[in-house]
C-alpha cells in the first residue's frame, strides 16, 4: 500500500469482510434528495442528443458531474447524490441509447471515444468553466480517460469502482465467484456457456452474486418508481455488445480494454479512488490503481459496487469533504 493509500485513513478505514452477505434489505433515501430536477436539457453529442438534469446553481461552487455505469445503465442510480445540491450543482445524465437520451441503436456509436466526447459536450453546453467529475464502474472508465487528458476545467476527479483493466476485472470476478456457495459457483461456471433451458437457474445464480458484490440493497420505493418511469432504465443490447452476459463474463468490445497506462497521467493530487467493502471491483485491486496514480483511496463500509445506493450517508460525507479540499 502506498503512502497516499495509507493517508486515506483520514477519509475511510479498511474494515474486515463479514462472514456472510445479507440478502437485500431496502436501501435508504438520503436527506435532501431531489427527485425533480431544477433544470433539464437535451444536449447534442456525436450520434444524437443526451438527457442532462441539474439540481443546484451552476453559478456557485464548481459543480459535480456523475457518470453512470453499465455500459447501458442510466442516471437513476445517482439520485442520492442530489442531496449535495444545497452545496453545489449536481449534474446527472444518460449516455446515448440510455435512460431519457436519444436511442439511435447504432453500434457504431458504442465506443469509448464517442461516449467520452459526451463529457466535454455537457461542459460546453452549459458554459461550465470548472467542475468536478465522478464516474462509477464503466463510468469510471470514462472518468479515467477524461482525467488522463488533464483538461483545464477539471477541479477534482473521483474514480469509483472503475473498470481499468478487463483482464484484472475478470481475475477479481473469478476470485469472488470462488467464494460463493459451491452450488452457486458451479452453476455460474456452467452458465458461461449459453443454454436457454438453464436461463432461469442462471439468472438466479447471477442474482445471488450481484446481491453480494454489486448491490446489497433494494432501491427505495421512490427510486424504483423513478427508475421504472425511464424509457430505458437499462439498455441490455448496449451492455451485451460492449461487455457480455454478466459482470464476471466479458465477450464484448471491452474484453481487451486496458487503461492502466492512463493511471500515471492522472493528477494524483486531485484524484480520489473509491471502492465498496464488498465490491466486485475488489478494494485491493482499486488500491493498487490508486498507488499507480499517486492518488488517495477510500473504502466504503457496508457497500458493494453500488455505493451511492448501499451506503449513501458515508459516501455523501466523503464527497463533501473531498470536494471542499479540491475547491480550496
What pLDDT is attached to residue 258? 98
pLDDT at position 246 is: 85
The dihedral sign for the CA sequence 73, 74, 75, 76: negative
Asked if the structure places residue 165 within a domain, the reply is: yes
- Cis peptide bond N-terminal to 100, omega within 30: no
pLDDT, residue 194, reads 61
CA distances from 82 to 53, 55, 90, 258 (A): 10, 7, 6, 32
Q: Directed axis angle between helix 182-191 and helix 166-178, to 10°?
A: 140
Phi, psi at residue 275, to the nearest 5°? Answer: -140, 155
C-alpha count within 13 angstroms, C-beta hemisphere, residue 154: 22
Residue 197 falls inside a structural domain: no
In a domain, 37, yes or no: yes
Asked whether the beta carbons of 43 and 49 are under 8 A apart, the reply is yes
Q: What is the CATH number of the domain that holds 130?
A: 3.40.50.1820
The reply to whether 318 falls in a domain is yes
What sign has the CA pseudo-torsion 239, 241, 243, 248? positive
Q: Which helix (H) or strand (E) holds 44?
A: strand 39-45
Cβ-proximal residues to 314 (8 Å cutoff; 6+ apart), any chain = 12, 300, 301, 302, 303, 307
The Cα 322–Cα 80 span in angstroms is 17
- Residue 269 belongs to some domain of the structure: yes
Question: Is residue 192 assigned to a domain?
Answer: no
The DSSP symbol for 29 reads P
Q: Does 187 map to a domain?
A: no
Number of domains in the chain: 1
Q: Look at residues 325, 323, 293 and name the one whose alpha carbon lies nearest to residue 3.
A: 293
Exposure of 106 in the CB half-sphere (CA atoms within 13 A): 9
Q: Which residues of the chain are modeled with pLDDT < 70?
A: 1-23, 193-194, 196
Residue 305 lies in a domain: yes
Q: Which structural domain range is residue 290 located in?
A: 3-12+22-178+217-327
Amino acid at each position: 500500500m502506498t503512502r497516499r493509500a495509507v493517508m486515506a485513513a483520514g477519509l475511510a478505514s479498511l474494515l474486515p469482510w463479514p462472514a456472510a452477505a445479507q440478502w437485500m434489505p431496502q436501501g435508504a433515501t438520503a436527506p435532501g434528495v431531489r427527485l425533480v430536477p431544477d433544470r433539464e436539457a437535451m444536449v447534442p453529442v456525436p450520434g444524437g442528443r443526451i438527457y442532462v438534469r441539474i439540481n443546484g446553481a451552476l453559478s456557485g461552487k464548481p459543480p459535480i458531474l456523475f457518470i453512470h455505469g453499465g455500459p447501458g445503465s442510466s442516471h437513476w442510480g445517482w439520485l442520492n447524490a442530489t442531496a449535495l445540491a444545497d452545496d453545489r450543482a449536481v449534474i446527472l445524465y444518460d449516455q446515448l441509447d440510455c435512460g431519457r437520451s436519444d436511442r439511435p441503436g447504432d453500434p457504431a456509436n458504442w465506443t469509448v471515444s464517442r461516449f467520452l466526447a459526451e463529457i466535454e459536450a455537457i461542459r460546453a453546453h452549459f458554459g461550465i468553466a470548472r467542475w468536478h467529475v465522478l464516474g462509477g464502474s464503466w463510468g469510471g472508465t470514462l472518468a479515467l480517460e477524461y482525467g488522463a487528458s488533464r483538461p483545464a476545467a477539471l477541479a477534482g476527479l473521483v474514480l469509483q469502482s472503475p473498470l481499468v483493466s478487463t483482464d484484472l476485472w475478470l481475475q477479481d470476478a473469478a476470485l469472488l465467484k470462488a467464494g460463493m456457495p459451491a452450488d452457486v459457483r458451479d452453476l455460474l461456471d456452467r452458465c458461461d456457456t449459453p443454454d436457454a433451458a438453464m436461463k432461469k437457474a442462471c439468472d438466479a445464480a447471477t442474482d445471488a452474486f450481484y446481491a453480494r458484490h454489486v448491490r446489497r440493497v433494494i432501491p427505495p420505493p421512490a427510486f424504483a418508481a423513478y427508475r421504472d418511469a425511464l424509457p430505458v432504465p437499462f439498455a441490455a443490447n448496449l451492455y451485451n455488445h460492449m461487455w457480455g452476459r454478466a459482470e464476471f463474463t466479458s465477450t464484448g468490445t471491452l474484453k481487451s480494454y486496458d487503461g492502466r497506462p492512463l493511471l500515471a497521467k492522472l493528477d494524483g493530487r486531485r484524484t480520489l479512488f473509491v471502492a465498496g467493502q464488498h465490491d466486485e471491483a475488489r478494494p485491493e485491486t482499486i488500491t493498487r490503481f490508486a498507488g499507480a496514480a499517486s492518488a488517495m483511496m477510500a473504502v466504503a463500509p457496508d457497500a458493494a459496487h453500488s455505493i451511492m445506493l448501499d451506503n449513501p450517508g458515508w459516501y455523501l460525507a466523503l464527497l463533501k469533504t473531498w470536494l471542499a479540499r479540491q475547491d480550496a
